[in-house]
């Protein structure tokens, strides 16, 4: 047994032992379930290293086809005494679901965790997509409105970044592109495919710049060999 324990990684949960310490398992409540709902069109992976189970995957969803993840309670371990087994402390599914959503969304650009945030929420109990649409239609509409508010902020920020960086595609995040498409703003110049675009060095200062524009965003020098340079007009 000692050799088996020695092979485990730090923090690994395996059977009735954790890092070689015996565990006292608590009885789980089979009714303690929550359903996390996502209408956000990106997969979400959240890891909570201090609880078990602590890895959660939420599929990408949409307003028309929400994705769901049913979770139960998780646990952490309290040390009572060095010579005594470690005690399991259950964490309710509500706390886990709330933590998953907040930890993912909190800190996202433009998200205020109130009326401007990704389309994520949870409800008590284990429900299906059909039950979700039958019982929580108003909630879905509310969450979709919050997500659209967030999208509008991302689009405004993208417009500003695009202008301030002289069209540098590296300043536009994937979420910004998703936001513009979701709002039907497909005419945005930063929505174009810039995979083949390469930044070149400014001939004056050496800073990387977008070759589609004649003016360097760093030193403001003009590349007179650029076709658009002749059309530039400067205030006097």
Helix 137-164 vs helix 174-182: angle between axes, to the nearest 10 degrees?
A: 120
Distance CA 226, CA 169 (A): 19
pLDDT > 80? residue 210: no
Q: Where are the alpha helices (DSSP H) in the chain?
A: 2-6, 93-105, 129-135, 137-164, 174-182
Q: Is the pTM of this model over 0.85?
A: no
- 37's enclosing H/E stretch is strand 34-38
Token reading at 220: 């403001």
User: Which pLDDT does position 26 carry in this prediction?
Assistant: 73
Q: Over pLDDT 70: what percentage of the chain?
A: 87
Nearest to 38 by CA among 140, 115, 114: 140
Give the pLDDT score at 227.
80
Give percent of the chain with pLDDT exceeding 90. 56
Q: Kindly state the average pLDDT of the residues 176-185.
A: 96
Residue 78: the pLDDT is: 83
Q: pLDDT band for 18, please (50, 70, 90 cuts).
A: low
Q: What is the 3-state secondary structure (H, E, C) of 159-221?
A: HHHHHHCCCCHHHCCHHHHHHHHHCCCCCCHHHCCCCCCCCEECCCCCCEECCCCCECCCCCC
**Residue pLDDT, tens place only, 216-234:** 888 888 888 888 777 777 6
What pLDDT is attached to residue 198? 62
pLDDT at 191 over 80: yes
pLDDT digits (tens, 9 = 90+) for 46-94: 999 989 899 999 999 999 999 999 999 999 888 777 777 778 889 999 9
Within 8 A by CB and 6+ apart from 107, the residues are none
pLDDT at site 119: 97
pLDDT in tens, 134-154: 999 999 999 999 999 999 999
Average pLDDT, the chain: 86
How is residue 95 written in tokens? 């706390």
**Distance separating alpha carbons of residues 86 and 18, to the nearest angstrom:** 8
17 DSSP β-pair partners: 14, 22
d(CA 52, CA 45): 15
Q: Exposed e or buried b for every residue in 170-208, given b needs 16+ CB within 10 A?
A: ebbeebbbebbebeeeeebebeeebeeeeeeebeeeeee
């Amino acid at each position: 047994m000692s050799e088996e324990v020695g092979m485990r990684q730090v923090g690994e949960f395996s059977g009735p032992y954790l890092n070689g310490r015996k565990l006292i398992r608590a009885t789980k409540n089979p009714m303690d379930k929550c359903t996390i709902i996502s209408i956000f069109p990106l997969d979400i992976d959240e890891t909570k290293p201090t609880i078990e189970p602590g890895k959660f995957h939420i599929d990408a969803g949409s307003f028309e086809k929400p994705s769901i993840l049913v979770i139960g309670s998780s646990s952490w371990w309290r040390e009572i005494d060095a010579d005594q087994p470690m005690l399991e402390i259950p964490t309710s599914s509500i706390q886990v679901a709330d933590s998953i959503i907040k930890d993912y969304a909190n800190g996202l650009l433009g998200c205020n965790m109130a009326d401007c945030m990704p389309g994520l929420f949870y409800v008590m109990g284990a429900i299906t997509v059909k039950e979700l649409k039958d019982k929580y239609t108003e909630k879905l509409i509310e969450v979709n409105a919050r997500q659209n508010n967030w999208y509008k902020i991302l689009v405004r920020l993208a417009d500003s970044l695009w202008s301030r960086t002289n069209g540098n595609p590296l300043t536009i995040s994937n979420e910004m592109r998703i936001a513009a498409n979701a709002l039907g703003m497909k005419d945005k110049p930063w929505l174009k495919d810039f995979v083949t675009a390469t930044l070149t060095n400014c001939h004056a200062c050496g800073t990387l710049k977008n070759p589609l524009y004649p003016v360097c965003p760093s030193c403001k020098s003009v590349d007179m060999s650029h076709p658009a340079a002749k059309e530039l007009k400067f205030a006097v």
